[in-house]
Structure 1
Amino acid sequence: MSYCAEIVTFTLKADEDEYVALRKAAIAEVKNAHPKLIAVPFCAKRSGGTWVDVWIYETKEAADAANADVENMPEFLKMYAVLDGVEIELTEFPESAVSPLS
């Protein structure tokens, strides 16, 4: 089995606290609609002011399905509205590449 990670880069058009709250609601909405979203482990601000966010799905097909459904997810659209210059890199990695911490 291989997983799919979306590595998303962007800049913000909103306050960081507002973005974090919108992100939390968006993650819950996407996970509810697309249970094959398995992790959204971190979001970080880079030294140059851009941000990076990582969304991990069970498969590339699951990621594609979630992306195709964004118009039906108002909380996700609210979060997306405060992003600028969005770029998404899709990567696939084998289950054996996951390093559990426990």
Structure 2
Amino acid sequence: ITSPVQYIGAASFIAWIYGIDVPAAQIAAAAALAVVISLGSVGLPGQVSFMATTMPVTSAMGLPLDPLGLLLAVDTIPDVFATVGNVSADLTANTIVAHHHDDEAGIPEHVAGDT
């Protein structure tokens, strides 16, 4: 769930460093591409697939690709926060589904527990 934000964030950082104004249409196209890429990418640590996932988004925004090597070196830090976001989203979704399932099954609240 946090992958598209990471890809756009890395590309936006490059745009900011170079002082490049990226038109809204290019950002929207890159965001759509980021969603598609995140749906097709493997669930491995970011360093494994960083170039394969971030490079197309950065290129779609018309930005230089040279800084990606430097960003790869420090990707561990944002990757930790992305993992926290992903795990939190997964826990939230599971909790909502579990409560919804308990309600549909007719299980009383005191039996289902406070999960």
TM-score above 0.5 = no
Greater strand content: 1
The TM-score bracket by the shorter chain reads 0.3 to 0.5
Greater helix content: 2
- TM-score for both structures, normalised by structure 1: 0.34
Higher relative contact order, chain-length normalized (CA < 8 Å, sep 6+) = 1
Which structure would you say has the larger Rg? 2
- TM-score for both structures, normalised by structure 2: 0.31
